[in-house]
A and B are shown apart, each in its own frame.
Chain A
Amino acid sequence: MRERAGPASTAVIVDQPRRPDFDAIVVGAGPAGSAAALELARAGHSVALLERGPFPGAKNVYGGVVYGRVLDELIPRWYDEMPVQRWVTRRQTMVLDGERSMTVDFRSQNWGSAPYNGATTYRAEFDEWLAGHAQKAGAVLVPSTVATRLLRTESGRIVGVRTDRPDGDLTATVVIACDGVNSFLAKQAGLVPGDQAAHTTLGVKETLALPRKTIDERFGVSANEGVDIEMLGCTQGIPGGGFLYTNAETLSVGLVLGLRGLAESGRRPEEILAELKRHPSIQPLVRGAELVEYSAHLIPEGGYDTMPRLVGDGLLVAGDAAAMCLAAGIWLEGVNFALGSGMYAGRAAASALAAGDLAGLREYKRLLESSFVLADHKKLRKAPGLVLSERMQRRYPGLVCDLVEGMFTVENPRPKPGVRKLLRASAKRHGVTLRELARDALTGLRTFG
């Protein structure tokens, strides 16, 4: 019977291989996996890069922004060759309530020229491009191959993976698990703590086709400039948020929904997305677009406190498998953290292999802590809790919209009300005490400050 990966699968006990097939096996040719393989191959180590899809990016579901600073270190002048849809020059944070919305809109033309800030990209193209660099450096890409189980010795050392191919055991000195959210390999290694469903969200996305010129006009951009819109209050009370990104000739519009909240609501995610698309602030942007793709994917949004152990005996965990997704409200980043974690995992593995001492794998954690990868996650560890809290999700969007509507509604001959009075009235209307407001403001200040 063909081997299959699954939550119930367990590691296979094998003898310590005399001569491993590779120095390292990287499982998953996403951003983390390809970055790890690239670093290992550059250091002169033999590395197999396993990918379950027929090509890197084939299985990916993504509609977001790749922030490229970490790429400066990995591929100098990456922006001259990376497959880009649009360079993000306009960033909006939108709070929605009923048929109202309040938007903070920022634009910077500095982000539209080298060295750029972030870009929208199709991951099928991006992943293939990055994996191509790893291959050029010497990594052996093995597509259409699923790593189903870990191979470990009696002593517990991980010495390879079993794949779903006949005669499919592959051995290596180091295994790097970049097999995405819900990593079966990290679970088999006993590195994943507790209840994953509680801090995992479901991302659903539609790709909508529009002519380039229409996108330029509707979003106020030109040439290859793009817009990133993050939304709060668009999920019908289910913890989560929304997004809309511009690609060259498509839009990515979608939602991120807490799994538990979604299940309890009994709603279908596509219904909630359809409601978002009908919102008066969104409908004019997507009107007349042709739906070309609908997709869904799990996202590890729990942050620092929900990460698995990152280092096992002969095993490193990176990317989504390590919950390296920063969901901090105003910041929603994943690919740059995947790239960073993969890059440092590759470096730590390369050093350990060169030294001939797997204890050196522990260097991975130190590298992450001394970089943005864990520094940002640690600093913003309270952010997911705050952003996904009941008040933030269900009460503050209405409160903010009430407050702003009160400020800008002219009711002459009545004099303008003071902001404090409006705030008090809005808070009362939405069942928020001033004490709660102050407490959340303080938490926000501590988290983001």
Chain B
Amino acid sequence: MAARAWCSGMADPLVVVLLRWTDARARIDPLSGEVESDPRGAGPSEADRCALEHGLRIAEAAGGRCVAVTLAPEEATELLRDALACGADAVLRVAVAPWDPRVPDSGAATARALATAIRAELGEPSLVLTGDHSADRGTGSTPAFLAAELDCAQALGLVRLSYADGELRALRRLDRGRRERLAIPLPAVCSVEPAGLRLRRASLPSTLAARTAAIPVVAGTVEAEPVTAHAARPLRPRAKELPAPREADPRLRLLRLTGAHEEREPPRVVVTDDPAEAADELLDYLRGKGYL
């Protein structure tokens, strides 16, 4: 698809970088399943840090503004100060009270709250960037929901992102080492993987300025309730019950149990660039397996 010119009709390109405040080193008790989290060790994921660097570079190249936004409790203020120190033009914290750490896990509700806050406080964004959250135990659904909320295109799994000659181009990682080149129409929501570049080190003067900067906070509303866990317990899958093999010979009993010599349909590799063809393949497969 041909890319639309950068920010057509927009006088002041706005690049919004969404940072998820997350404790990447949270400990899960193997017996009780309880999660022990330490807010001091929490911050953006590497993917989010990459997204911020992309955002800063694109905003610089396009002569626009880069604004870092998070939906997080007050403890996440440090994350926004760091973004300011790195060069973000502004920051915004969307506060949900009372804070429930499971709120960001609800992609649809998070996207709605973020879209409402961005539109109300910052205006229509030209580009929204975020880290690929799935790698950090997020649901990965927020960018898709956000694209729907903002009525714009979406690209995910990006390992390279560049802006030149009024076009936003990206490289997307596909399975089995393949890469896909994209020309992304704008406005768009793009989620990036932690690859290719690192967040710049903030200078001392900007770090000092960020230490005392006011951090704007806007109240957000998460309409849908996040998934509620009524009880947490360790994963103990039930043992699969198998009928005892009838064979008397131990070898045959073993073969029966393992199914080692049973005839199977060999795996089939399907390569197609056509989405409709790919969808048909999937549907045929599901029909063949009796799911449809």
Contact = CB atoms under 8 A, between A and B. Distances in A.
A32 B117 CA distance: 43
A141 B204 CA distance: 12
B201 interface: yes
Contacts of A169: 204
Interface in A113-161: 124, 128, 140-143, 145
Contacts of B212: 140
Contact of A124 (B40, B78, B203): B40
B102 interface: no
A166 interface: yes
A150 B205 CA distance: 18
B203 A140 contact: no
Contacts of B207: 142, 145, 165
A304 B212 CA distance: 40
A425 interface: no
A15 B197 CA distance: 37
A165 B40 contact: no
B211 A140 contact: yes
- List 8 tightest A-B contacts by C-beta distance, closest first: A165-B204, A167-B203, A168-B204, A166-B203, A55-B40, A140-B211, A167-B204, A163-B204
B211 A165 contact: no
A61 B251 CA distance: 58
A142 B203 contact: no
Interface string A1-40: 0100000000000000000010000000000000000000
A423 interface: no
A48 interface: yes
B208 interface: yes
Identify the interface centre among A124, A140, A165, A167: most chain B CB within 10 Å of its CB.
A165
Contact of B208 (A55, A58, A124, A142): A142
Interface residues of B, number: 13
A2 B201 contact: yes
A312 B200 CA distance: 35
B206 to A, nearest CB: 8
Interface string A196-212: 00000000000000000
Contacts of B203: 165-168
A142 B202 CA distance: 12
A170 B208 CA distance: 10
A58 B211 CA distance: 18
Interface string B202-236: 11110110011000000000000000000000000
Contacts of A143: 78
Interface string A165-195: 1111110000000000000000000000000
A58 B201 contact: no
B38 to A, nearest CB: 8
Contacts of A166: 201-204
B211 A142 contact: yes
B213 to A, nearest CB: 12
Contacts of A168: 203-204
A140 B208 contact: yes
Contacts of A165: 201-204, 207
A145 B204 contact: yes
Nearest to A167: B203
B53 to A, nearest CB: 15
A124 B39 CA distance: 12
